[in-house]
Structures are given as structure tokens and as C-alpha cells.
Amino acid sequence: MELDDTIVAISTPPGRGGIGVVRLAGSEAKAIAAPLLRLKRELEPGRAVFGELIEPVTEERIDEVVVTFFQKPHSYTTDDIVEISGHGAPVVLRHVVELAVAAGARLAEPGEFTMRAFLNGRLDLTQAEAVRDLIESQTLYQAKVAAQQLEGVLSHRLQPIKQKLVELIAVLEAGIDFAEDDVPVAAVEDIQRRLAEAREPLAALEASFAYGKVVHEGMTLAIVGRPNVGKSSLFNRLVERERAIVTATPGTTRDLVSETVSLGGIPVKLVDTAGIRAAYDEAESIGVKKAYEALADADLVLVVMDLAQPAAEEDARLVEMVGPRPKIVVENKADLDGRRSSVVGHRPDNGRVRTSAITGEGIEELRQEILRHVAGEAAGQRESGFLTNVRHQGLVREAIAGLDAGRRALDQNIPHEMMLLDLYTALHALDGITGATTTDDILNLIFSSFCIGK
């Protein structure tokens, strides 16, 4: 990318709409836009001006527009930016881009506006990635988390850790470089303390990824059980509409039925499955096979049992089949008499919720139990920043590994010159998160996933 070029792109989604925006960024943005516009007054920084979009040669009016000028460095990219907002007719927006290109602008690459913001110091790398996450948010909570990252909450959490690591490196470097000047080297206990002070918050941050990954990517929840225990009715309750067919005939569900809902702001893909039993025909046999596949792919499993029927060995076998995978045992049909007193093969620490899909009893408690399984202890870190990106997690792990290697070198009385290599490895890993030291390959990978115009 030539960062000195003036670039142009449509910054609103493809298709027709009430408003469409064309954005120009670069030193010539104002000069290129001027012949395309007939304005009520001169452009001023930070003010919107009403006017008309015209053909440069004939001055024939094309559309009414509102034009906003952001003067460098007070703009998204720190370049001069002109945004032309007109009616969202694709043919008009494309024509504006064509006129701008003919006047000397270049079509922007995907993510180039945000990449310029990063390279010009307007955003660090975590904030730039948060822009993409905000655009791709499916729930309001995901958007709020991305907005926190955009404010720099993760960078702020990493900054004191990096500072402690830099201070330790400086102490060791001084002891090596100025040994002949009798500059004291820190005591072993002091170095151990400094390493621990850097490692502990990093370990806590790395642990937050289990929750952050679910917030960022969502999760899959499979509803399994014997036929006619109320799986589809429970599915409909959680979806809050009649999505799955429900009848009194066992084996009604023959295929997987899925729907994505928001639970606590987390996208949860609910999968209703066929009742697990010895199938009576080919179609049901295929449905049972798909149920096993859904169970294997799920992040969390709801094992549904029928309170109105005596405890069955099939229920115990199903619980065992789920194995160590996270699961919640749901005792359904609580509105009916003849409830059994216990669940065969069930251990209380697996989680158990009593519900009625018909009356709605226990449904809210089930939602809360699902969220408890998802969030765990990391949910308390929501306001302090947590990892949502697998690239960030890998780099935090690399930093922890570097600190651990440094601690082993210290314990084995290895010279500090060698120990410093491990500490620099840890520091460079943290730099890779905030963007202080990154390669072109990493930058291209990150920004190529942005939409054009952002």
C-alpha cells in the first residue's frame, strides 16, 4: 500500500439504502472532492455542509448530499478526510468513486483506512482489531466488549506488565554492561519477585480466553435425550417461538433443528436432536446418527430427562456417553405428577435444573445455569479487559513461556546474558499484541479481513 496516496471507497454496506457514504482520505482529498460538489458554503473542519453532487464538466445535478471534512490530524486516519453522504443508490455511489479515481484518487484496499489509522499511531493493534470485531458483532454485548477494546482496555491491562518486564530487562542489562563500574546486579530474590509480578497477571489474562472466545465466537448447545422427554418443547421455550414441531408421538424429530439466540449477550446456537434410541426405520436411524454427531460437536450439552416417567437406565448411559464434556442435566415435565426423586447416574456437580417446557417453570434458571457454565470465573473480568482473539492468546502464552524459561535459567544459575534472551522473547510477544513490533505478514493478515471502506 502507498500510504501517501489519496484513497477512496464506499463506506456503507452494499445494496440500496436511505443513505450512502463515500469516503476520501489523503492529502488531496479536499481538492479531488471539490469539482464534484456545489456547496452552500466552504468546507470547514468538523462541520457538515449541505450541497449538491454534480457532474464536473456539465455541472448537472446528480444528488443532494451532506459533506463532512475532517482536517488532519483530527481524523480517523490522521489524514485529511472528506465524507460525502448522499442517498444510498449504488449507481450514484459507484459514480462518485469513478469520478474521484479519474481525478487522481486510488481505490482503497480492504481495511486500508483502519490500517492507516494504526500505522499513523491513531490506534494500536488491539484497537484496530476491535474495529473489525465491532463491525461483526451479532449481539449488543459483543458490541460493548468490542467498544471497550477500542477504548484500549486490553492495552491498558498489558501496559503495566510490559513496564515491569522492561524494568527487569534494564536492571539485568545494566548489571552486564557496567559490571566493571560496580553497578549492582539485582539479588536473586528480587529477580524472582519481578518475574512473578509479570507472570501472575499474564496467567490470569490467558485464563480469561475461555470466556472471551465464547463471547467472540459464540457457542453450540446440543439438546439430547430419549424420545418424547420434551426436547423440542424445551428448544422452543429457549428460542421463544414455535421453531420445532412438537407432537405426543415419540420420534417426531428426525433431523437436526438449529436456531441462534442471545443468552446474556452471547450468541448461542441451539441444536434440537432426534430422540436417542434403537431406531425403527431408516429416517429415524439417520436422525439418531446426526444426534450423536451434534453431541460430539457441542460446546455444552443439555441432557433432558422425563420427570413424569420412572428413572431409566438409558438416561444413565446417556449421561455417561456425554463423558467429561460440559453438560447440564435437565429434569423436564416438572408440571406432571409421578416425579422421580433422583436422576440415575447423575452427580450434583454436573449441574441439574428442573423445568417444565409447558408452563415455563425453571426456564429462566436453566438460562442462568447455561451462562454459569459459559462464563465461569472469567466473567468477573468483563470490565478489566479479557482475551477474545486466538492470536492474542497465543502471544500471551508465548510471553508466559518466556518468563518461565527465564525463571528456570535463574534457578540453574545460567548467566544473565542467556536469561535476557528469554525475557526479550516475552517482551516481543507482548509487543505483537499491541503492535509495537509486528511483521508485514501479521498486518496484512489482520487488515485483509476488514471490509472495503473501513
**What per-residue confidence (pLDDT) applies to 279?**
53
**Distance between CA atoms of residues 414 and 171, nearest Å:** 16
Q: What top-level class would CATH report for the domain 218-378?
A: alpha beta
Amino acid sitting at position 242:
E
Which are the contacts of 41, defined by CB distance < 8 A and separation ≥ 6? 49
Tell me the domain boundaries of the chain. 7-122, 135-208+385-434, 218-378
Which of 214, 170, 14 shows the shortest CA–CA distance to 97? 14
Q: How many residues does the structure list for the chain?
A: 454
| pLDDT 10s digits, 54-91 | 999 899 999 999 999 999 999 999 999 999 999 999 99
Grid coordinates representing 113 are 483506512
Amino acid sitting at position 132:
R
**Distance between CA atoms of residues 246 and 272, nearest Å:** 11
Q: What top-level class would CATH report for the domain 7-122?
A: alpha beta
> Phi/psi of residue 319, each to 5°?
-60, -40
Mean per-residue pLDDT of the chain: 83
- What is the greatest pairwise CA distance in the chain? 89
Classify domain 135-208+385-434 by CATH architecture.
Answer: Up-down Bundle (1.20)
**What per-residue confidence (pLDDT) applies to 449?**
63
Preceding omega of 35 cis (within 30 degrees of 0): no
The predicted model gives 112-141 an average pLDDT of: 90
Which ranges in 244-330 belong to alpha helices (H)?
Answer: 282-297, 313-322
**Distance between CA atoms of residues 232 and 355, nearest Å:** 13
Please check whether residue 109 is in contact with residue 85, taking contact to mean a CB–CB distance below 8 angstroms: no
- State the DSSP H helix or E strand holding residue 268, giving kind and residue range, or none if neither: strand 266-272
**What per-residue confidence (pLDDT) applies to 425?**
94
| pLDDT 10s digits, 335-362 | 875 544 444 433 334 468 888 888 888 8
| pLDDT 10s digits, 139-195 | 888 899 889 888 889 989 999 999 899 888 888 887 776 555 555 567 889 999 999
Which are the contacts of 410, defined by CB distance < 8 A and separation ≥ 6? 188, 191, 192, 195, 419
In sequence order, what DSSP letters do the residues of 92-128 get, joined into one string?
HHHHHHHHHHHTT-EEPPTTHHHHHHHHTTSS-HHHH
| 112 has a pLDDT exceeding 80 | yes
**Distance between CA atoms of residues 75 and 114, nearest Å:** 11
